[in-house]
Amino acid sequence: MSVEATLTPKTGADAQRRRLESWKEIAAYLGRDVTTVRRWEKREGLPVHRLHHSKLGSVYAYAGELDAWRSERAPAVASDATALDARQASEVVQNGTHARRAAALAALALALVAGLIWIARDRASIQPASANGGIRSLAVLPLQNFSGNPDQDYLSDGMTEALIARLSTIQALRVISRTTAMQFKGTRKAVPAIGKELNVDAVIEGSVQRSGDKIRINVQLIRADTDEHLWSGTYDRELQDVLALQSDVTYGITRHIEVAVGTQSGRPVAARAVAPVVYESYLRGRFELHKETRAGLEEALRHFQAALDADATFAPAYAGLAATQLALGSVFFGEPPYEARPKVFAAAGKALELDPQLVEAHVLLAQTLARDWRWAEAEAEYKRAIELGPSDAGAHAGIAYWFLCQGRTQEALSWARRAQELDPLALHGIQIGWILFHARRYDEAIRELRTVLTVEPENQFALWFLGFALIGAKQFDEAIQTLEKTASVSHRSSAVLGVLVQAYASAGRREEALRILDELHRRRKTGYVPPAAFLNAYLGLGETEEAFVWMERAAEERSNIMQFLKVHPFFDPLRGDPRFAVFLRRANFQ
């Protein structure tokens, strides 16, 4: 049987007057299904308000009024729960073990009345998922922040990401990745519409509520096509037990979906405790990392390091550190590879030393090994990541790049399309367009990248890669326009300027090409400029000897462009030169 312990959050006047705008939000706040909450409104005086319009009515409730009602009606709620459990199959989960039903009812009822303990529990399923067929795919919608403080969004977003990551490890279950899921934050779309858009069988909705060092998660499993509630659960824990909380929530969900879960079908393994300050710093780091700005990355480094300073054994913080360093080493942020790459190796390696099952760390290590031309090791890490996280879109996108670098473009496209299935609203069209460019399928690449730009018109990578494809298609005037825009939105990135030199030179506008090349040389006197910028520039100008000079410098620092030595169309004029074959061997290409 199941009895609910009341959570009393720290609330001010604003939080007490916060409105819950639908039956679903009210049910999630109270940790019950909609049917039960409607019954409480009719029979138990649950304070629900109505707005009547000409054609329809809508409901809302205030959090403060619900809290007051719940406090006053605690014995009635307990009684209602007992009656509900008499009609439904139920179980109690307390500290990860099943309590005997009679003993649990007595102990938990006393705890409710006294208000002395917090209970981790998994409430009864409303209906088995098998009633309308098994679930083979789902999306976790962003958990709502019910803490009454917008500054706690990092917590609800972080818990959403963690839940997605855990569910992504389940074999035979397709889980929509974080990037797509987060685009539904605050959405008013109906569940059937979301399910149709994402092509999933079910969605997870829920909320996170924090009070001091205590945290409550409410989750509901809903069939996408019918909007039917299949199961709901409420979990209360101390923040230091947040990893165990995530494990319990994942276990509760997997028990109610028919998938081949393998070892996941058993009870979750015991999770280590983590100090609240450590986990908060980690989640704040993830929040800043996903902003994808220079300032955000610098803040992310600070938060991840703070987490590690407090607990040097917390593996996810090392993975976050590695992801941030990898981003800082990209062309738009400009940290030299020889500075960023060793930091990624160290952080990802330490993460895996502490937690060999950490999918993100395997992907980060694989990406860095590939850029270091350690192809066999990179492939093994990607395969291990996919084995551990079969729904991890990042792992699938990463191995797509590995196949591209090997010249196996069709296989690369297949893996990239799979990543797109797992993360349909993420901009995987950028990667697909890049692969098509290397396959010399320029028109298809242009279409793919322009489709991305209809959604995000100033995406730097989409614009930059479109510039490459337009040059390949000999549409030089359009390439110049596109790359000029890319230079503007990227604050005149050196990598973009190098390709812009090639566009102007290819269009016969040599004077303008040389002017930009001069800008790059002047910039190099005061800071780092990637060798690839000069390599692309001199290739466009047709100056082969200078191109080989800069290819040597790119090889010395293992510049990112050297991954694509085997397939990059811009290198075609050099392929007949014996010196090019030497570079292929140096990069460990057969």
Q: For 569-589, how does the pLDDT look when each residue is reduced to its tens digit (9 = 90+)? A: 999 999 999 999 999 999 999
* Mean pLDDT (the chain, rounded): 82
359 close to 167: Cβ distance less than 8 angstroms: no
In angstroms, rounded to a whole number, what is the distance separating the alpha carbons of residues 377 and 352? 15
pLDDT of residue 110: 33
3-state helix, strand, coil in the chain (%, to 5): 60, 10, 30
Q: Which fold has domain 13-265?
A: Rossmann fold (3.40.50)
pLDDT of residue 116: 30
Helices (H), 74-203: 74-87, 101-114, 153-167, 178-181, 191-198
Q: At 66, which amino acid appears?
A: L
Residue 4 scores a pLDDT above 70? no
The percent of residues in the chain predicted with pLDDT above 70, rounded, is 82
Higher pLDDT: 521 or 97? It is: 521
198 close to 225: Cβ distance less than 8 angstroms: no
- Whole-angstrom CA distances from 496 to 2, 373, 533 are 60, 24, 7
Residue 133 scores a pLDDT above 80? no
pLDDT of residue 311: 94
pLDDT tens digits, one per residue of 209-257: 888 888 888 899 999 988 888 888 888 888 788 778 878 887 778 777 7
**Lowest-confidence range among 2-11, 126-135, 417-426?**
2-11
Residue 35 scores a pLDDT above 50? yes
In angstroms, rounded to a whole number, what is the distance separating the alpha carbons of residues 360 and 357? 9
* Torsion-angle region of 148 (φ positive above 0: left; ψ -120 to 50: alpha; else: beta): left
**Lowest-confidence range among 122-131, 216-225, 282-291, 392-401?**
122-131
Residue 106 scores a pLDDT above 60? no
In angstroms, rounded to a whole number, what is the distance separating the alpha carbons of residues 209 and 143? 10
Q: Which fold has domain 274-373?
A: 1.25.40
**Lowest-confidence range among 38-47, 392-401, 445-454?**
38-47
By C-alpha distance, which of 486, 506, 504, 503 is closest to 494? 486
pLDDT confidence tier of residue 292, bands split at 50, 70 and 90: confident
pLDDT of residue 51: 66
Domain ranges for the chain = 13-265, 274-373
- Whole-angstrom CA distances from 252 to 118, 234, 243, 450, 578 are 18, 10, 14, 42, 61
CA dihedral for 153, 159, 160, 165, sign (positive or negative): positive
Provide the residue count of the chain. Answer: 590
**Lowest-confidence range among 24-28, 341-345, 507-511?**
24-28
Higher pLDDT: 435 or 112? It is: 435
Residue 168 scores a pLDDT above 90? no
pLDDT tens digits, one per residue of 433-450: 999 999 999 999 999 999
Measured distance between the N- and C-terminal CA atoms of the chain, rounded to whole angstroms: 64
pLDDT confidence tier of residue 263, bands split at 50, 70 and 90: very low
